[in-house]
Amino acid sequence: MTSLIHTGDSDNRGRLLEKSEIRIFVVEDDVTMGKALVEALKKEGYTPTHFTNPTDAINQFKIQSAHAFVIDCLLPKISGIELAVQLRKEGALTAPMFLTSGVFKDKAYSKEAIQKTGALNFFNKPFNVSDLIKAINSSFSDFIDEELSPFENLMINSLSPQEKIKSINQLGEIEALDLPLIYCHLMNSKASGILKLSNTKFPMQISFNQGKIVQVEMKNPESFFGHLLIENGYLTPEQLDEALKVESGKRIGEKLVELNYISPHVIDIINSEQMALRLSMSVGNENYNLFFEEKNVLPSASFIDQERLSPFIYDWLNSKFDLAWLKQRYMKWEERPTIINNIASQWLSLWSFPVFKSFMQIVKSFEQGKDLEEIINKYPQNEEVIYQILHILILVEHVKFKNEDKKQFDATAHLARLRKLQVTLQNQDHFAILGISKNAKSTDIKKTYHELAKIFHPDKIPPNSTKELAEAAKNVFGLITKAYEVLSNEPKRLAYIKELEMGRTEKILQGEALFEEGKILLTSGNALKALEKFTMAKSLKPPTSDLLIHTAWALLVSCEQNKNSSQIKESEQILSKIPPEDRHNATYYFVKGYYQKMTNDFVAARKNVQHALSLKPKFIEAERLLRFFDLQKNNKTVDILNSDLKDVVGSLFKKS
């Protein structure tokens, strides 16, 4: 990976350079010492030039400037201090300087030398060359990033299990939406141990045995056991109620086995699904500090392997990762080619999902080493699908990014990319622009900015580029820099957060009020007006699962009222955006049943509506829909959703 710095000399002010482009003048009349310094600097990746004569150094500087200087104080003709002062006058105004001396060791002398020259350090001979190298590196530290970050390491390199665990433990704090990447890497590595996720709100521990998740521990876990039994057809709501009434110290699963309602192996199946739902709860808007402790963990009959996690990954793709997040996640990788990693055999069921079956040409493009920008330009109408496919391929390690940018610079494509990116960034807050959380540390803010600067700094485009391209690059980098300048300054960052929170609080309150108004309109039969309220609410605040469920409900009612079949598909898409852990309440089961009724799956629809009523016995709309199924058996036609219950009941007993 190339290392970039922000230089301060007159010829390259503000320019990003690779480390090998950093020219360092070593002015040392001791040939042996000079050669040793040059070799050390070369080994470090810099480009040093050795001068024994200070006049030669000055003349060369006039032809080609340097970015740093190592100067011995005792030189022929003029002293090192005089040389340093003259170089400053010639234009090396801010270039780092390091003075050395084997003669002038007096502290007063070194202090005066630093004051006169603006040197950063004074090294008394003999000194450890590694200390000089550290000082030089430190002088460029704001723009040097020599090694891949742990996250980049996971995205780019094919690592051994031990290397993966090392990178994972070096991550420190991560965004919860990046946890699926960690889960998949530990599974693929067949790791055994405990992944500890810590934060103040939602600490968790996830146990792995040979790559299988065998336990998910969390504070005050919600039980989905009964819901899952009913959903999977192992139990009826009435049977569950009967088992719950049995007084004993046994768990619900054991009670159901004793009542002969389920067989013992069903408990393991449902426990595995419940673990996956709890795992899903970890993938949200929190940040976690994580650490994987390698240790022996006992196997379990209840487990999550790649096959069982696959449908949840697909669900998360729809319900957790919106397009804005995916774009931000891969913004700096858009021009990076991919390389196939041949690990998808462990995730066979993924290939049966619609996003893969319908768009195999996009999958093939990534397998063939195309970059994201190139694929989007080829299939612009499928932008969201492209991001979704890439994210899954990266998660399961089927492809990696190459540790290199594409060879040819496509000015037209780059201009289109920058213009699109500018529109996106203009509508985002500073945190979203940099792709960091509000709790990001100053080091993370700086690192993220530097990573983006490596890609979007205007000097990264060719010098002969068009005015339009130069202007677009300047605008995009300006937005990134503005975000960095605010967030890297603690007082400004706190003031900005306060400003954001004040605006968001007001919008959230307005959104909640609109949501409540919409619910009243919906239950009174005015679906179109309800939809308007829900749409307005979504524009003011991030949509909750409850808001999405009611939006799908309103679409289905509107479809019946206005005979608009396209709204059925729209409601299906909205229901797919409900996270798996939020699909176990009465309203969701009712709306799902309503959708199934609209698609003529009456058996499944009836089951879900019954489940809704078991959770909320006085759910009027669910009662009406259940009576519709009863009427349907007798070929009766009544507008169930808009009729009063007495009319529905009357129709049931009406004589033919």
Please spell the DSSP secondary structure of 68-92, one letter per residue: EEEEESS-SSS-HHHHHHHHHHHT-
Structure tokens at 338: 């991919």
Distance CA 125, CA 28 (A): 12
Question: Based on the number of CB atoms within 10 Å of its own CB, is 298 exposed (0-12), middle (13-18) or buried (19 or more)?
Answer: exposed
Distance CA 355, CA 392 (A): 10
Structure tokens at 226: 């009964």
The phi-psi region of residue 250 (left if phi > 0; otherwise alpha if psi is between -120 and 50; otherwise beta) is beta
The phi-psi region of residue 435 (left if phi > 0; otherwise alpha if psi is between -120 and 50; otherwise beta) is left
Structure tokens at 398: 């089927």
Structure tokens at 465: 């580029």
Residue 463 near residue 513, CB atoms below 8 Å: no
At the fourth CATH level, the homologous superfamily of domain 4-143 is: Response regulator (3.40.50.2300)
Whether the ω angle into residue 126 lies within 30 degrees of 0, i.e. cis, is: yes
Residue 347 near residue 396, CB atoms below 8 Å: yes
Kindly tell me the sign of the dihedral angle through the C-alpha atoms of 590, 284, 485, 17: negative
The closest alpha carbon to 49, from 69, 29, 30, belongs to 69
Question: Based on the number of CB atoms within 10 Å of its own CB, is 404 exposed (0-12), middle (13-18) or buried (19 or more)?
Answer: exposed
pTM score above 0.85:
no
pLDDT of residue 405: 64
Residue 105 near residue 62, CB atoms below 8 Å: no
Along the chain (656 residues), what's the average pLDDT of each consecutive run of 10 residues? Answer: 42 54 92 93 90 94 90 92 94 91 87 93 91 87 64 88 93 90 96 93 92 92 86 86 84 88 92 93 89 96 94 93 90 88 76 89 93 91 95 94 74 86 90 84 82 82 86 92 91 89 86 95 93 94 93 94 85 94 94 94 92 92 90 60 45 38
Please spell the DSSP secondary structure of 336-399, one letter per residue: PPEEE---GGGGGGGGGSHHHHS-HHHHHHHHTT--HHHHHHHSGGGHHHHHHHHHHHHHTTSE
Residue 533 near residue 514, CB atoms below 8 Å: yes
Residue 535 backbone phi and psi in degrees, to 5 = -65, -40
Q: Strands 68-72 and 97-101: what pairing? A: parallel
Residue 605 near residue 640, CB atoms below 8 Å: no
Residue 300 near residue 215, CB atoms below 8 Å: yes
Q: Which residues contact 91 (CB under 8 A, 6 or more apart)?
A: 9, 10, 11, 61, 65
pLDDT of residue 143: 58
Which CA distances in Å does 333 have to 151, 163, 348, 455?
13, 22, 26, 9
Domain boundaries, the chain: 4-143, 156-311, 321-407
Residue 594 near residue 556, CB atoms below 8 Å: yes
Measured in whole angstroms, how far is the alpha carbon of residue 295 from the centre of its chain? 28
Kindly tell me the sign of the dihedral angle through the C-alpha atoms of 641, 647, 648, 651: negative
